[in-house]
Amino acid sequence: MSDTPSILSDAEVRSQIDSLLPVEEFSNKSVLLVVPDATRTAPLPLLFATIHDKLADVASKIDVLVALGTHPAMSDDQIRSLLGITEGDATGRYRDVGLFNHEWDNPQRLETIGTLTADETSNISGGLLSEEVPVAINGRVNNYDRVLIVGPVFPHEVVGFSGGNKYFFPGLSGPELLNFFHWLGALITNVGIIGVKDTPVRRVVDRAAQMISTEKRCLAFVVASNGGLHGLFYGSPESAWESAAELSARVHIKYFEKPFRQVLSCAPPMYDELWVAGKCMYKLEPVVADGGELIIYAPHMSEISVTHGPLIEQVGYHVRDYFTKQWDKFKDIPWGVLAHSTHVRGQGHYEDGIESPRVQVTLASGIPREVCERINLGYRDPESIDVESFADRDDEGILLVRKAGEHLHRLRES
């Protein structure tokens, strides 16, 4: 019998939310719902409608803030689509719901709520970094009586498992803390941190969240392959995340006996730039053999990053030690950009001016060959790839992942 939990029906999801959400916590309170953007698989229309119906008659106000991190802003129409708000609903039952994007690069929208001291960051990071870091967050958080995070939990390359207080940092964060802990995760490496619950980065995120004065709640959930839910958990951001991460570890990690010499990692349409499609590498890196190739297949993708593209083109994609051993050259580049670079490039070495990545990372996308070569990634024409020719060849050391980016692939420990 499978250990995988069943998928909840829509009726079961509504019933669980009805029993989980204590109305008295939101009575006569203004409520800010914090939700992911469209780069995460989540049945937000069902969840939003159910939560709104539950709280609309008791809360004094319900608004929505999209935890973009540094992702591009969504239009009002895109946010409505994300939440399942029809044109009629927008002027009907949701007419008083405010829809907002996080603005990580707008100082007027950010408020500093505290500081992580150098001693704190040194202790948390085990001495990897010792920096005083201001903690800034979207000021809207301070304008409500309750903040309710509504977001999924998956294995994550920077923090271990996503969700919980990660919706504040980096979801609603200012750039200083965001850059700090992304680089901390990069120093530990993707393989060293992904799918691990207790990580230094999670401790940084949780410590920063303690500085938020507004009462915080969280509805964390675990998403099935078909977009349904395996489970929902309510409580503090820490407790709800803890339970969801335990379930995510059961359903989102696939184990293999041997590594693969070639992996075709297919990016879903929601990954429309390499900044997010990099997850197709992060979740598969542990099962690629030394000297093997991972192909990010994304014919729909033509952007490196709308937000960070010029900086990434300047730096390129490199292994961690390429940066750490030339730190004076790169220390002034935003550390979040450096972290993305080395997470996509994966593990490897840099000795005597020679870079030796452990695996070859190849893009088969709308990003031209000359750009791929300039940013230190391989190139394949996506039209030259027959996806089905990679199927059912595990025994040959070839793996096809049809929807990459959310399930972690890991070698079983001997």
Q: So where are the chain's domains?
A: 10-251, 254-411
* % of the chain residues with pLDDT over 90: 94
CA neighbor of 259 nearest in space, from 403, 412, 147: 412
Cα-only R_g, the chain: 21
Q: State the amino acid at position 388 in one-letter form.
A: E
- The CATH topology of domain 254-411 is 2-enoyl-CoA Hydratase; Chain A, domain 1 (3.90.226)
The predicted structure's pLDDT at residue 39: 86
Ranges assigned E (strand) in 228-367? 229-235, 253-256, 260-266, 288-298, 348-351, 354-357, 360-365
Phi, psi of 393 (to 5 degrees): -125, 25
Angle between helices 44-55 and 76-83 (to 10 degrees): 80
Task: Convert the pLDDT of each residue in 198-240 to its tens digit.
Answer: 999 999 999 999 999 999 999 999 999 889 999 999 999 999 9
Tell me the mean pLDDT in the region 83-95. Answer: 89
pLDDT at 1 over 70: no
Question: Could you say which DSSP state residue 393 is in?
Answer: -
Q: State the amino acid at position 304 in one-letter form.
A: I
| Distant-in-sequence, close-in-space partners of 257: CB < 8 Å, separation ≥ 6 | 411, 412
Task: Convert the pLDDT of each residue in 94-126 to its tens digit.
Answer: 999 999 999 999 999 999 999 999 999 999 999
Residue pair 332/340 in contact by the 8 Å Cβ criterion: no
Question: Could you say which DSSP state residue 413 is in?
Answer: P
Question: Could you say which DSSP state residue 86 is in?
Answer: -
Tell me the mean pLDDT in the region 73-81. Answer: 95
Query: Number of C-alpha atoms within 13 angstroms, CB side, residue 39?
Result: 23
Q: Which residues pair with 66 in a beta bridge?
A: 35, 101
Q: Average pLDDT over the chain, rounded to whole? A: 96
- Token pair for residue 79? 């946010």
Domain 10-251 CATH (choose: 3.40.50.11440, 3.40.50.720, 3.30.70.1280, 3.90.1150.170): 3.40.50.11440
Tell me the mean pLDDT in the region 4-15. Answer: 94
Task: Convert the pLDDT of each residue in 131-180 to its tens digit.
Answer: 999 999 999 999 999 999 999 999 999 999 999 999 999 999 999 999 99
What pTM, to 2 d.p., does this model score? 0.94
- Token pair for residue 53? 């119906």
The verdict on whether omega for the bond into residue 170 sits within 30 degrees of 0, i.e. cis, is: yes
Tell me the mean pLDDT in the region 275-304. Answer: 97
The H or E element that residue 202 is part of is helix 200-209
- Token pair for residue 131? 């920096």
